[in-house]
A = this chain, B = another copy of it.
Amino acid sequence: MLAWMDERALGATLTTGQTHFYSRSRRKHWHKGGTSGHVQYVESIAIDCDGDVLLIKARQMGGACHEGYRSCFFRRITSGGRIELIAEPVFDARTVYGSSRETGQASAKSDRALDSARE
């Protein structure tokens, strides 16, 4: 998954050992797994050469993706440009997040990378 952090989210991640992010579309901080229990236990945090991207390796409880998959990257693009499914869901997203929440977030899709994973 890819999500945004600010300084406070990184601080909470370092302090708790679980990932915290900042949603630009909802303008709020969120704790990955706070609602679903699908938390991420941080194993390592690498920072890139110019210091604006973090690569976090974590032990994922349940699934990272709001669509019920372990990873948000559950499809691949073939060399011919087609999109193919490459994974099976690991949980029922509707049961975990509820359909009302699904609808509620659909309006915030302009900042889409933020919504690729859920609390």
Contacts and interface: CB of A to CB of B under 8 A. Distances in A.
Interface of A: 1-2, 10, 14, 17, 44-55, 65-67, 69, 72-77, 79-81, 83, 86, 109, 112-113, 115-116
Nearest to A81: B14
Given A1-B48, A52-B116, 5 more contacts: A46-B73, A46-B74, A47-B77, A48-B72, A53-B116
Chain multiplicity (copies): 2
B49 A116 contact: yes
Contact of A52 (B46, B80, B112): B112
Nearest to A68: B49
A69 B47 contact: no
16 contacts: A1-B48, A2-B48, A14-B77, A14-B81, A45-B76, A46-B75, A47-B76, A48-B72, A48-B113, A49-B67, A49-B72, A50-B113, A53-B72, A53-B113, A54-B77, A55-B73
A7 to B, nearest CB: 11
Contacts of A50: 72, 109, 112-113, 115-116
